[in-house]
Each structure stands twice: as C-alpha cells, then as structure tokens.
Structure 1
Amino acid sequence: MFLFAIVLAACGTNKTEEVGKSAVPAVAPAPAATAPAAPDAKKADKMYIPVISKGFQHQFWQAVKLGAEKAAKELDVTITFEGPETEAQVDKQIEILTAALGKKPSAIAFAALDSKAAVPLLEKAKAAKIPVVGFDSGVDSDIPVATAATDNIAAAGLAADKMAGLINNEGEVAVIVHDQTSRTGIDRRDGFVNRIKSKYPNIKIVDIQYGGGDQLKSTDLTKAIIQAHPNVKGIFGANEGSAIGVLNAVTELKKDKIIVIGYDSGKQQMDAIKSGKMAGAITQNPIGIGYESVKAAVKAVKGEKVEKNIDTGFFWYDKTNIDSPEIKGVLYN
C-alpha cells in the first residue's frame, strides 16, 4: 500500500511541505510507444479504461503508468496505457484517441498534447456517454468530468521565486518550454514569466523557446540563447527534456555560472542537482496523477461524485533535501 500512501500524502499536504515517507521504486525503461490492443468493452467482464498519455520518452510517464496500474488493481478494472512515441506527435495522439473511442470503453483518461485539437473527439465521447478524465494536461473544454494534475501555474511561480533568489533578484533569464499548445506548456511558461514580471522588476526575460520536450532540440535552442545573450544568468527548463537540454548546453559551452532550474525529475536531473550542476527543480507527484485519474474515471462510470479539479501537488527539491524521505517519495529514476 506504499503507493497509495504517496497519493494520500501528496493530495493532503501543503504543496511545498511533506508528501509522506514512502519511497517510489525505480521506474523501468520506457516500452514501445503503444500498449497492446485494448479489449472490446462488450466482451470484457471488467470495466475498461484506456489511459492515453502524451508520450513515453520521459520517465515521468512511466511513473504515471505505475500509479494508474496501482489504481486499476485496487479497483479491479482493466486499463491500457498508450501514447505517441514523442510529445511532438499531436496527430498520432489523436489517432490513438480515435481508436480508443472505437473500442467503446467505460471511460477514458486523457492527457492532451494539444488542448484544442482533441475537443471534437471528446465531444463524441460525451455524446456516447463515455466519461472523460483529464490528467497532467487539461483541455479547452468542460467535457472532462475531472482533471488530475499539478497546479502548474503555482509550481512554475515557485521556480521563478527560486531563480530570483539565486541571481540576487536582478539580471537576464530565459525559458525553454516543451510546447505552447498543451495546458502544461502554457501554464508553466506563464506561471514563471508572470511571477518574474510581477515581483522582480530588475529581472529581464530575454527569450522563450519551445523544444518539444526533446533534449537535442532544447540543447540547440539553449546554445543559441546563450550565444545571443552572453550575460544571461539563469535558464528555466519547463519539463524533463527541456531541463536536460538546458543542462547539456550549459555543460558543453562551459557556462557553469548560469543557474539552471528544471521541472520533473529523472536520473539525469537528480544527478545534476546532487553534483551542483543544476540548482534545483520542481517535482510533481506522477504516481498520484496516474492513480487519481483512474480512480476518478471509475467513480464517474459508477455515477459517483467526482471532484472537478484534483490537485496532486508539487514540491521544490535541491541538494539540501533531495535525499530526504519526503522528497524521495515523489522522485523517479
């Protein structure tokens, strides 16, 4: 029951405080992009819920999968965990969603790569009385009966506060974001940028670039920013791939004085924080996100009351607390 303890702790504590004392096990390497074909709901004995993620390229999604599988086992339902190979493949995700709807599932859990592109399909789900639960990223629609996610605006705002403190509240900073179409990309960008603009008049944001969550592209974009703005003092990477790209660029250009702040965890970020190459990062509660999305979907199918916005929490970690039991519980390798 240790994973369930993590979920309860993450949802029931202050976002920047304790999350429980159970550690999350190392996450297995990412599998192929899509899960095996889903069962036909008419033939299945159990409730069937396809869980459609934004991708498989980051360990974050494997941690979400663990949480979803935990809930499925406890609630005795069948799930599949599917998604495109990368977070840049909006069309592929739409194809997966279309196929999932064709299976006539009991409900769908969905993390949108594009908050608008999926709306027509979600309208079809609603017409077919298939409850939709959003997770990680919301959609520009009231169709989802619930969304299990981090408060990304507040979390990125905390990253901005940490950045400001580390550069003495003045200087130039830049941002590398995974995209400008998903709710997470938009909210993390705006949360960071708006906090800087509203609280720190002596800090200037010199550039915002979008790397698709791809490490190589994010590395190249960061190098270009550093070359164009040699006085940049800090760079925020808004997801795992973005943050690693920033870290790689700073390392390759030997610009060790640039403050790097990331988002999510994963082994490379954790190692960089322990070594001092990265100042710190925001971590979510990915297992809690997966768990709560499946739990909400089951409740919706049963006609039970579901909370519209399920806040799964976020936490700042750096080399001073990365090994603490509280933080270990929401980090993943």
Structure 2
Amino acid sequence: MKKRWRVAALGICMAMLTCACSTQTEKADTSSTQQNGEKKETAEEKAEKAKQAKLDLINPAAYGNVDGLELEKGTYLSIIGKGSSETYWKTIKAGAEDAVTDLNKELGYEGSDKIKVVYSGPGKSDDVDEQVSILDEELDRYPAALAIAIVDSKSCEVQFDLATMNGIPLITFDSVGNYQGIMASVMTDNAKASTEVATHMVESLGDAGQVVVIAHDSKSLTSQERVNNFIAEIQNNHPNMSVAGPYYMDQIDDIKKTIAEQQLDIVPVEGQELDEEQQTALDDAIAQITDEDIYNYILEMNPDVKGIFATNGDTTMQALTACEGKDMKDVVIMGYDADQEEIDAMKDGRIAGMIVQNPYGMGYATVVAEARCVLNMGNEANVNTGYTWVTPDNIEDRTVQDILYAEK
C-alpha cells in the first residue's frame, strides 16, 4: 500500500513540475512579446507603420491613399525618373508600385484586369538624352497618364506637346518644369527645405564664415530652387557670412581646363592658341581629371571655408570625402537625401545635417495624381510630399527611422 502511495505521489509531483515548466514557458513567451507592457511589433506591423509615417507627410492627405479611385481594368500608368539604380529612385518606384497594389486590392482586380505601372529611368542618373528616348518609347505605348521627373526643364517640350495632342495627362514629380500643360507637380518643398538648411548652417557656424555651395546640376528647376533659396537666406539676412559658388557639377569644363593647365605648367595667353602638341597634351590631361580632383580644387580655391551645402546625395558624399582627404574635418557639411553612406556618415558625426526627402510618398502620391487625372477628378497644382531635418542627435529616433529609405 505504501509503495502504491509513493508511486501516486511521484506522479503528482511530476505533473506539478510539468505544469510549472509549462507556466514558465508561457510566461517567457509572453514576456518575449512584450516591452514595457506593450506587445512587441512584428516585422509586418513595423513595416506598415513606417509606410504610414511616409504617407502621413503628404499634403494634401488625399494623395496618401487610394480611396475613391475607380480606374478601369487594365489601366496602364507610366512613370519616368531621373535615374533607376540609386536608392532614391528605387524607393520612388517602390512607392508607386505599392500604390498600384493598394488600388488593385481596393478594386478587387486580379490577373490581366490589374492596373499596371511601369517605372523607367536612365541607367546613369541625369542622362538627358536617355530620358528623352525613354519618354518617346513610353508615349508610343499610349499610357493613360504619364509622370516624369524632368532632368532638363527645356528638353521635353516636343514630347509634351505630343502627349497633350493625344490626350495623355502629364504629371511631374521630384523635378518640375515650366510646361503649361502639367496637371500637377508632386515634390518636396525645396524652397522651404533649402532655407531651413541655411538656417541650421548659420547656427552651426555662429553666424560668421564662408560657405561653399556645390550643386549636382544647373538644368533642373529643383537644383536651382535649392541653390537660390539657400544663398538668398545667407546673403539677405547674415552679413557676416559669405557664399562661394555655386559650383555646378555639370558645368565644370573650365575647372577641368584650369586643373590640367596647372598639371602641365601651361600658362594660357589671351588671344594666343596652343600648338598642336600642347593642345593634345591638354585634352588628354582633361580627360583624366576625376570628380575627386575637382572637389580638391574647389577646396584649394576656398581655404577659409567653414561650411559646405551640397544639393544631393552624391555631392554631399564627394564633398565629405574631399574634406577628409585634406584633413579639413572641421568643415560643417549639410546636404540632401539619405543613402546608406550618408546615414553611416551622419551616425559617425561626419555630416552635420541633411534634408531627408520622402521618395516613397512621392512615388505613391504620383500614382494617385495620375489616377485623378484619368478620372477627371482634378488635382492640386502642387502636392507636397514632405521632408525631415535629420542630424546625428535625432537619427536614431523612431520617428526618423520610419522615414529613412536606405536599408538600416
């Protein structure tokens, strides 16, 4: 009898132990899904919140959703960017594709009935000729609407006339143009953003010193807005500061020629041409000059520079590389965009601040604007997709992380 009681007691103990282990496991599982009493986000929930944060930056808010856009089955929309390989343009493409995915889900379209969007862009960013060729090809496909980030504000007027004649509504995004038939422009408020950069630059430099302005191009109205508004804020309101430049990276032939002449010890004489041997040597030297050489020359021409404002990701990183190469690490660098290199440099404190645009929201809002054109719903002339001022102090904040578009 005692033996039976011991066996029974042992069974009860084992059951209690199993129950206790199960309870502990459940507690562990529960605690692993909680942080400060809140349920831990799944990867999908986190991605959805980040998506919504980008859409919430869009103004008017109607361009951040697809409600009421009852496009016909199989509608084809075309979007042409300034590039295709850079993170910025890939993110615009992702936003546009997600907008169409949301549209198809909202309307219940499947298979061949789905609305389609095709994003295209030059292989080399800002290639005017390739962009015009892509525009010709897309117009031959007769899309229901076409959106374009214009590289050269005067390069597409013939194609735009053709689109208008064929009833294809035109939208611009990222970079606007002066063409009268544009139905809406979807972009960052570059005037406001570049003025804000100037304000932060003034604060960082104690309202005194020289700032160099380096622009990625001279042709787009976007670049012109960034440059002109930054310079205007400095020159009009801060008399103890000066601006050198702007140096446009698509207008550097004179700089290349000067660098080559210095390398070859050629002293040009006004009105006197070089002999054939000298001219050949000069042409060969010019062909070998790199972006690094150009940035180094700009720094050598402005040895008292205290700050640099660069108008896109490439110019920002090239300016940083040049400053570090010349041991000018105290120069305050501010710029645009948020490629992974820039994010890493900011986390290290090597970039003082940057305007982070909203390319995902830009792509999404562009599709909405195109759809509204097709449906004759009317559009706002300007759709502001927003931006965020990012510094080493706030880059790890959740609100900033949600709007960064490079891989973290």
Q: After TM superposition, is the score higher than 0.5?
A: yes
TM superposition shift of 1:124: 1.0
Indicate conservation of the 8 Å contact 2:58/2:384, yes or no: yes
Q: Aligned match of 1:93 in 101, 110, 131?
A: 131
The amino acid across from 1:87 in the alignment is S
Give the total of aligned pairs: 302
Q: Which residue of 1 aligns with 2:118?
A: 80
TM superposition shift of 1:54: 0.2
- Cα separation, 2, equivalents of 1:311 and 1:196: 25
Q: Which residue of 1 aligns with 2:296?
A: 223
Alpha-carbon displacement from aligned partner over 1:22-67 (angstroms, at most 9, x marks no partner): xxxxxxxxxxxxxxxxxxxxxx951111110001242111111111
- Cα separation, 1, equivalents of 2:138 and 2:146: 8
What runs of 5+ residues in structure 1 fail to find an aligned partner? 14-43
Q: Which residue of 1 aligns with 2:57?
A: 10
Q: Aligned match of 1:181 in 215, 219, 222?
A: 219
TM superposition shift of 1:137: 0.5
Q: Which residue of 1 aligns with 2:371?
A: 298
Indicate conservation of the 8 Å contact 1:64/1:286, yes or no: yes
Confirm or deny that 1:204 pairs with 2:242: yes
- TM-score, scaled to structure 1: 0.86
Q: Secondary structure at the match of 1:181?
A: coil
Alpha-carbon displacement from aligned partner over 1:142-179 (angstroms, at most 9, x marks no partner): 21111110011111111111111111111111111111
% identical aligned pairs: 31
Q: Relative to structure 1, is the Cα distance of residues 57 and 210 closer, same or farther in structure 2, using a 3 angstrom cutoff?
A: farther
Q: Aligned match of 1:106 in 137, 144, 166?
A: 144
TM superposition shift of 1:7: 3.9
Q: Which residue of 1 aligns with 2:267?
A: none
Q: Which residue of 2 aligns with 1:307?
A: 380
Confirm or deny that 1:272 pairs with 2:300: no
Confirm or deny that 1:64 pairs with 2:92: yes
TM superposition shift of 1:219: 3.8
The amino acid across from 2:141 in the alignment is K
Confirm or deny that 1:286 pairs with 2:333: no
Q: Which has the larger radius of gyration?
A: 2
- Cα separation, 1, equivalents of 2:103 and 2:187: 20
TM superposition shift of 1:224: 1.2
Q: Which residue of 1 aligns with 2:193?
A: 155
The amino acid across from 1:66 in the alignment is A
Shifted more, 3-12 versus 298-307: the winner is 3-12
Q: Which residue of 2 aligns with 1:49?
A: 77
Q: Which residue of 1 aligns with 2:42?
A: none
- Cα separation, 2, equivalents of 1:75 and 1:136: 22
Alpha-carbon displacement from aligned partner over 1:302-325 (angstroms, at most 9, x marks no partner): 111211100011111001111112
Confirm or deny that 1:191 pairs with 2:244: no
The amino acid across from 1:71 in the alignment is A
- Cα separation, 1, equivalents of 2:126 and 2:216: 9
- Cα separation, 2, equivalents of 1:166 and 1:240: 20
Q: Which residue of 2 aligns with 1:32?
A: none
Q: Secondary structure at the match of 2:57?
A: helix
Q: Which residue of 2 aligns with 1:120?
A: 158
Indicate conservation of the 8 Å contact 1:152/1:184, yes or no: yes
- Cα separation, 1, equivalents of 2:54 and 2:169: 22
Indicate conservation of the 8 Å contact 2:54/2:403, yes or no: no
- Cα separation, 1, equivalents of 2:51 and 2:129: 34
- Cα separation, 2, equivalents of 1:10 and 1:148: 12
- Cα separation, 2, equivalents of 1:232 and 1:81: 41
Q: Please show how residues 120-139 of structure 1 align to structure 2 within 5 Å.
A: 120-139=158-177
- Cα separation, 2, equivalents of 1:219 and 1:10: 36
- Cα separation, 2, equivalents of 1:153 and 1:292: 20
Cα RMSD (Å): 2.0
What runs of 5+ residues in structure 2 fail to find an aligned partner? 1-47, 61-71, 105-114, 252-288
Shifted more, 162-171 versus 1-10: the winner is 1-10
Q: Relative to structure 1, is the Cα distance of residues 158 and 300 closer, same or farther in structure 2, using a 3 angstrom cutoff?
A: same
Q: Which residue of 1 aligns with 2:330?
A: 257
- TM-score, scaled to structure 2: 0.71
Alpha-carbon displacement from aligned partner over 1:248-278 (angstroms, at most 9, x marks no partner): 1111111101111010111111111111111
- Cα separation, 2, equivalents of 1:109 and 1:152: 19
Indicate conservation of the 8 Å contact 1:147/1:309, yes or no: yes
